[in-house]
Amino acid sequence: MSTLHTEQVAAQDKISSIDHEKFKVKGADLENNILDAFRSRIAVAVAELSEKSADDIFALLDAPKNPEHGDFALAVPRLRVNGNPAQFAKSWAEKVNVPLANEYIVSVEATGPYLNFKISHALLAKTLLNHICRKKESYGVNQTGAGKTVLVEFSSPNIAKPFHAGHLRSTIIGNFIKNVHEANGWKTIGMNYLGDWGKQYGILAVGFEKYGSEEELLTDPIKHLYDVYVKINADAENDDDVNVRARAYFKKMEDGDEEALALWRKFRDLSIEKYKNTYARLNVNFDVYSGESQVPNEKILNALAVLREKNLVQESNGALIIDLKKYKLDVVVVQKQDGTTLYITRDIGAAIDRYEKYKFDAMYYVIASQQDLHMSQLFKVLELMGNEWVNRCKHINFGLVKGMSTRKGTAVFLDEILEQTKISMHNVMKQNEAKYEQIDNPEEIADIVGISATMIQDMSAKRIRNYEFNWDRMFSFEGDTGPYLQYAHTRLCSIERNCGLDINPDADVSLLTERPAIDLINMIAQYPDVVKGALRSLEPCTVVTYAMKLSHTVSAALETLWVMGAPKDLAEARLLMYWATRITLGNSLKLLGLKPLERM
């Protein structure tokens, strides 16, 4: 691919920075969002006629309900002007200073109380494609979060217990939330808060004495510890001695007994190593492996002292409880009769510890909605204690997945699910023999496409919705699936490889006048809005929907607007447009956490 003509780009920058000054409107990101340049000109032109500010008008510009009406619409009633909105719309449409907006706006029309604007598509194509040539992989990102830090806690499985569908959803959604913050200029900390403390680790240690194998522990720690855990729990049902020994063992751990801790630490370290490999397959990594065991004791003791001081705790049968009934949040136990802490106590200490360490501007807990009550209780307790930063914390909840097991039976390990996914995808790929033979690394491709299938299925609807894990539908290349998105991306890559032309950033894009080309450029131009919107909603489906629409739009364009066989200048213009589509689609897939493929 050819390099950019830097002098020309620099000259272009100069022109646009002069323009920027005059049309600086609050909320407009002229550096990163080409549509904002159009919107701000519309806002300034209308502001000249009304007593409203360009800032207010800018914030109200929307896409018209009927796309035939134009590119942007202003609902005049929402401006709250004194008088008849339709009358204002009519008179403004007549008077709007189109030349002020230079060549940006081409027409203004009133439809009832709406003002509809058409913009210059030639200018949009030129500025947008030029912008993407400069930004490439960073097209779509902005710096609105500069200087702010977010902590995203996600995945958080329990050692020696199944990694279930809830943990998988948390991993996928949490990683997305982290990516979205990064794309909006935030500093991010991804944290895995393992379930790695409590009496069950005493049970596990007792079980390991009886059923453990060093060798199996080293080969597959997660599976082996789970097997041991299941066996010893069965024993514990009939033999209370197991429980007594487990409690004694856990007490030693809490008291900091080195020998007891050494075994536990080995279990934890080996499990983390194994998890890291699996997370890498999912394209996920964590900045911090924390966990219930990592909450400093002193933070918990302090918290309990504050709770006492503020008269928030009561004794009940030797345990300490907080009565939250008047907030309709039930009663929480923060300390057991034997003085040990609980899940919520550790969460209280952990939150305080994290705030002191990271001074976050936002903290997200990505946890299934089964823990809604737990999270509301946690936030209420933190608030009653007087931690005013609790309003920076938010529970990002999500619904259940039904039927996530392998075809053979119930799988409880993430690895097994991913293996099954890969095999299924591989089988689908083999059905197209001619294509299959052209791939050098089918297993690797099957793994990536299979994972894309799983992730897109997960992110296609609003988070809170439950869904059925559908082994057939998600692997299809048709319909709104992960394989379909990957296919759209590889198709664009293959055009670049096979067309025999280099990408020419100076291609004459004024030749892109057909409807499918205009639609495609409009769609590409929306990506920065999508990145910004995703930060507000924290809903992955907004980005999935965008990636699907972009793929459909480019597929429609490819039906008639060919690169090969077109005259050279037209071929170059189209190639540049498809290249920009590939960059934009690739960026949106990466935002979702997928690895965009070049061939499949």
Ligand X SMILES: NC(=[NH2+])NCCC[C@H](N)C(=O)O
Nearer to ligand X, 23 or 398 (CB): 398
Q: Which stretch binds ligand X (CB under 6 A): 155-163, 210-218, 311-319, 444-452?
A: 155-163
Task: Return the range that interacts with ligand X (CB under 6 A); candidates 156-164, 305-313, 410-418, 475-483.
Answer: 156-164
Closest CA to 157 of 173, 168, 143, 146: 168
Parallel, antiparallel or unpaired: strands 72-75 and 467-468 = unpaired
Q: Does residue 222 belong to the site contacting ligand X (CB under 6 A)?
A: no
- Return the closest-CA partner of residue 464 out of 530, 366, 545: 366
In the bound state with ligand X, the residue whose beta carbon lies nearer, of 236 and 367, is: 367
In the complex with ligand X, the residue whose CB is nearer, 162 or 596, is: 162
Residue nearest to ligand X (CB): 195
Which amino acid, residue 329?
L
For ligand X, the binding residue among 347, 458, 519, 539 (CB under 6 A) is 347
272 binds ligand X (CB under 6 A): no
Cβ nearer to ligand X, comparing 118 with 161: 161
CA–CA separation, 418 and 177 (whole Å): 22
| Buried/exposed 454-486: b ≥16 CB within 10 Å, e otherwise | bbbbbbbeebeeebebebeebbebeebbbbbbb
374 is catalytic: no
Among 120, 158, 271, 345, binds ligand X (CB under 6 A): 158
| Of positions 303, 367, 429, 525, contacts ligand X by CB under 6 A | 367
156 touches ligand X (CB under 6 A): yes
Ramachandran angles phi, psi of 401, nearest 5°? -110, 130
At which residue do the structure tokens 């080293």 appear? 218
Left (φ > 0), alpha (ψ -120 to 50) or beta: where does 156 sit?
A: left
Q: Which range of residues in 66-74, 81-89, 154-162, 581-589 is near ligand X by CB under 6 A?
A: 154-162
Q: How far is the CB of 464 from ligand X (least distance, A)?
A: 17
Q: Nearer Cβ to ligand X, position 193 or 229?
A: 193
Residue 286 C-beta: closest distance to ligand X, Å: 13
Rank residues 20 and 394 by Cβ distance to ligand X and give the closer one: 394
Tokens 């998600």 appear where? 474
Contact 599, 493 (CB under 8 A): yes
Minimum CB distance to ligand X, residue 454 (Å): 19
- The neighbour count for residue 221, using CB atoms within 10 Å, is 22
Q: How far is the CB of 486 from ligand X (least distance, A)?
A: 31
Q: Which one among 113, 140, 174, 195 touches ligand X, defined by CB under 6 A? A: 195
List of residues 6+ apart from 204 with CB closer than 8 A? 160, 225, 228, 229, 232, 267
User: Are residues 158 and 194 in contact, defined by beta-carbon separation less than 8 angstroms?
Assistant: yes
Residue 302: helix, strand or coil by DSSP?
Answer: helix
**69 flagged as catalytic:** no
Is residue 167 part of the annotated active site? The answer reads: yes
Q: Based on CB atoms, which residue is closest to ligand X, 363 or 530?
A: 363
Nearest residue to 177 via CA among 202, 195, 155: 155
* β-sheet bridge partners, residue 321: 314, 333
Instruction: From 151-159, 231-239, 263-271, 473-481, give the range in contact with ligand X by CB under 6 A.
Output: 151-159
Distance CA 335, CA 494 (A): 62
Listed in sequence order, the residues at least 6 apart from 579 whose beta carbon sits closer than 8 Å to its beta carbon are: 492, 496, 503
Instruction: From 570, 575, 566, select the one nearest 497 (Cα to Cα).
Output: 575
Selecting among 90, 126, 167, 181, the annotated active-site residue is 167
* Cα angle 511-487-279, degrees, rounded to a multiple of 5: 125
Which position among 121, 126, 164, 274 bears the catalytic label? 164
Residue type present at position 217: L
Least Å from the CB of residue 230 to ligand X: 17
> What single DSSP character describes residue 440?
S
Stretch in the footprint of ligand X (CB under 6 A) among 117-125, 149-157, 304-312, 512-520: 149-157
Tell me whether residue 151 or residue 453 sits nearer to ligand X (CB atom): 151
Please report whether residue 128 would count as binding ligand X according to CB under 6 A: no
Distance in angstroms (rounded) separating the CA atoms of residues 375 and 390: 12
Nearer to ligand X, 432 or 466 (CB): 466
- The number of beta carbons lying within 10 Å of the beta carbon of residue 95 is 13
Closest to ligand X by CB, 153 vs 539, is: 153
Closest to 430 in 3D by CA, of 304, 280, 600, 289: 600
Instruction: Tell me if 42 sits within 8 A of 117, measured CB to CB.
Output: yes
| CA distance linking residue 85 with residue 82, whole number of Å | 8
Region 547-576 residues binding ligand X, contact defined as CB under 6 A: none
Instruction: Answer yes or no: are the C-beta atoms of 367 and 375 closer than 8 Å.
Output: yes
Instruction: Tell me how far, at minimum, the Cβ of 51 lies from ligand X, in Å.
Output: 51
- Map residues 56-75 to x or -, x wherever contact with ligand X holds by CB under 6 A: --------------------
Tell me the site size for ligand X, rule CB under 6 A.
Answer: 9
By beta-carbon proximity to ligand X, the closer residue of 90 and 346 is 346
User: Out of 186, 193, 355, 475, which residue is the one contacting ligand X (CB under 6 A)?
Assistant: 193
The rounded distance, in Å, linking the Cα atoms of 427 and 432 is 10
Contact yes or no for 290/351 (Cβ under 8 A) = no
- Report the nearest approach of ligand X to the CB of residue 155 (Å): 9
**Minimum distance from residue 322 beta carbon to ligand X (Å):** 17
Q: How far is the CB of 138 from ligand X (least distance, A)?
A: 32
According to the binding rule CB under 6 A, does residue 365 interact with ligand X?
A: yes
341 lines the binding site for ligand X (CB under 6 A): no
Annotated catalytic residue within 161, 187, 276, 549: 161
> Which chain residues interact with ligand X by CB under 6 A?
153, 156-158, 193, 195, 347, 365, 367
**Which residues belong to the active site?**
161, 164, 167
